[in-house]
Amino acid sequence: MQNAQKKCLYCDEPLKGRADKKFCDDQCRANYNYHLTKDANNTVRNINRILKKNRALLEEFLGNEKMKKVNSKHLLDKGFQFRFNTHTLQTQKGNYKFCYEFGYLEIEPGKLLIVKNPDLLK
Ligand SMILES: [Zn+2]
């Protein structure tokens, strides 16, 4: 049985010529790579946006305090996305989750302790 006709990865046109060809021409190759990069950049941009918003909310809730208890519902109401963190910090008190220099610890169900730790990179 003959192999199925290979098609251009970008425009889906049947390919003629060398068996290892993946694109009609340089234009299709360039377009394909552009879209790949664009998608990756969009993913990074979208996740960065979420992380920055999370960080801004933690900063807003903490205010000028060193640490502060809040209901997680209040963060949720403002659009906080708990799935997105930059890193975690394991302590005897528990596992802090951070968005950049602001972090939180669940001290009891639905209750969070927000902290700021600017020394993370030291
Ligand atoms: Zn093509």
Is pTM beyond 0.85 here? no
- pLDDT above 70: residue 119: yes
Q: Which two tokens stand for residue 86?
A: 């930059």
Q: What is the pLDDT of residues 38-96, one digit of tens each?
A: 989 999 999 999 999 999 999 999 999 999 999 999 999 999 999 999 999 998 989 99
Domain span holding position 77: 26-116
> Has residue 17 been placed in a domain?
no
C-alpha of residue 45 to centroid of ligand 1, in Å: 28
> Has residue 68 been placed in a domain?
yes
Q: Pick the residue with more confidence: 1 or 88?
A: 88
Average pLDDT, the chain: 92
Which residues have CB atoms below 5 A from the ion given as ligand 1? Answer: 8, 10-11, 13, 24, 28
Number of structural domains in the chain: 1
> Has residue 107 been placed in a domain?
yes
Measure CA of the first residue to CA of the last residue in the chain; give whole Å. 63
H or E segment to which residue 103 belongs: strand 102-108
> Has residue 38 been placed in a domain?
yes
